[in-house]
Amino acid sequence: MLQVELDADEDDAPLAAMLPSRAALPAHRDEAQVLLDVRRSFTMYADTAQEDVRARRRAQLEAVVCGTLRRYPALHYYQGFHDIASIVLLTLSPSTPLGEAAWPTTKERCRVQHAVDSFALHVVRDSMASNMDPVLGQLKIVRNIVRAADLPYALALERVFRPSQNLAALPWVLTLLSHDVPDVHSAQCVLDFVLSHGAPAMLYVAAALLLHHRAALAQAAADARRPLETLDMPEVHHMLAKVPPLDTDAARHALLSRAEALLRTYPLTCPAVRAQTVLASSSVLFTETPSMSSDARAMSYASLPGHAHVLDIATTPRDDTPIDEKAVPVVRRPRLALVRRLRPLLMPRDTARFVFAASFSLLMGGSVLSVLLAAQLAAPP
pTM, rounded to two decimals: 0.78
Burial of 183 per CB tally in 10 Å (0-12, 13-18, 19+): middle
Using the predicted structure, report yes or no on whether residue 42 has a pLDDT greater than 80. yes
Query: Mind listing the pLDDT tens digit for each residue in 288-343?
Result: 764 555 888 999 999 999 999 999 998 766 544 443 333 334 334 444 444 454 45
SS3 state at 348: coil
Q: Determine the Cα–Cα distance for residues 144 and 313; give it in Å rounded to an integer.
A: 12
CB of 81 closer than 8 Å to CB of 65: yes
SS3 state at 102: coil
Fold of 129-318: Cyclin A; domain 1 (1.10.472)
Per the prediction, the chain carries an average pLDDT of 82
Using the predicted structure, report yes or no on whether residue 172 has a pLDDT greater than 90. yes
- Top CATH class of 13-122 equals mainly alpha
Q: What percent of the chain has pLDDT over 70?
A: 75
What does the angle CA 37 – CA 43 – CA 47 come to, to the nearest 5 degrees? 125
pLDDT at 52: 84
Query: Mind listing the pLDDT tens digit for each residue in 6-21?
Result: 443 445 555 555 566 7
DSSP 125: G
The 10 Å Cβ neighbour count of residue 96 is: 17
The torsion angle over the Cα atoms of residues 55, 59, 65 and 70, rounded to 10 degrees, is: 160
Q: Determine the Cα–Cα distance for residues 362 and 248; give it in Å rounded to an integer.
A: 96
Q: Within 266-314, where are the H helices?
A: 284-287, 295-302
CB of 225 closer than 8 Å to CB of 291: no
CB of 62 closer than 8 Å to CB of 34: yes
Q: For the chain, what is the largest distance between any 2 Cα atoms, rounded to a whole number of angstroms?
A: 126
Q: Determine the Cα–Cα distance for residues 276 and 269; give it in Å rounded to an integer.
A: 6
Distances (CA, A) of 98 to 14, 39, 62, 64, 310: 25, 21, 19, 19, 47
What is the domain partition of the chain in residue ranges? 13-122, 129-318, 345-378
Using the predicted structure, report yes or no on whether residue 35 has a pLDDT greater than 60. yes
Q: Determine the Cα–Cα distance for residues 261 and 304; give it in Å rounded to an integer.
A: 33
